[in-house]
Amino acid sequence: MARRPLVVGNWKMNGTVREAAELARAVAAGLAGEGAEAAVCPPFPCLAEVGRVVDGTGVALGAQDVSRHRPGSHTGEVSAEMLHDLGCRWVIVGHSERRTGLGETDETVRAKLDRARECGLAPIACVGETLEQREAGEADRVVRRQVDALLDGAGSEAVAGCVVAYEPIWAIGTGRNAAPEDAQAMHRGIRARIAERSSAAADSVRILYGGSVNDNNAAGLFAMPDIDGGLIGGASLDSGRFAAICRAAP
Ligand code: PEP
């Protein structure tokens, strides 16, 4: 089955509302319908304005996180219902900066994924190993555990409607991307793990690579058969580089 490449910009905790709107305008103008399916994930306070800017442009709106809770007394949290109301199509769950920096567990990530799906949002579920785990030869085991947690929660058929992002933690924001062949080996392993439960889900699920993707290395990564696009941090803050990455998808 042909899987349409997807490139998602994770703007992290950067910019003001005005700067985010300007960046969104430049991204939409730079893409003009070309290349991969594209989405941008601005910080929460910028979602409404960026949503207005990208509406009707072909660039989809996503959020960087979602509450695991239903609406109610959860101070500071943002519900899946609120994100849906703002026009989000996508939501990132389980980013390593939340798993390692904020103590999110597989169980939390799974609860967030379930909440997102219940509200019609498509989750982008991040998995990936630390440098220590890779050097100890544990990368496959760690990523398999994270993927199993997603499958156990959502169920294998439901995973077909999600996107998995393989983001080796040692490659995020370091300028040191995984070699295309190494990333491909992990992506193939993730797809094989999903296929053990459902070959249809494994065929259709898009698996993105994230970790220091830029306009120079994107084409080599995206040429791999199991790499279906990218989750882009730093380079997504530059509309020209982000557009070039989107155009690098086959
Ligand atoms: C990310 O944070 O998801 C990411 C991939 O960041 P960077 O592209 O900057 O490595």
209: Cα within 13 Å, side-chain hemisphere? 32
DSSP string, 137-195: T-HHHHHHHHHHHHHHHH-HHHHTTSEEEE--GGGTTSS-PPPHHHHHHHHHHHHHHHH
**Ligand 1 contact via 167 beta carbon (within 6 Å):** yes
Ligand 1 atom nearest the C-alpha of 214 is 8
**Ligand 1 contact via 43 beta carbon (within 6 Å):** no
What does the angle CA 137 – CA 143 – CA 147 come to, to the nearest 5 degrees? 160
Is 95 in the active site? yes
Which tens digits make up the pLDDT trace of 37-64?
Answer: 999 999 999 999 999 999 999 999 999 9
pTM (predicted TM-score): 0.96
**Ligand 1 contact via 231 beta carbon (within 6 Å):** yes
- pLDDT above 70 covers a percentage of the chain that reads 98
Q: Is the pLDDT of residue 1 over 70?
A: no
**Ligand 1 contact via 63 beta carbon (within 6 Å):** no
Q: Do the Cβ atoms of 62 and 70 come closer than 8 Å?
A: no
Is 129 in the active site? no
Q: pLDDT averaged over the chain?
A: 94
Q: What is the mean pLDDT of residues 164-186?
A: 95
pLDDT of residue 99: 94
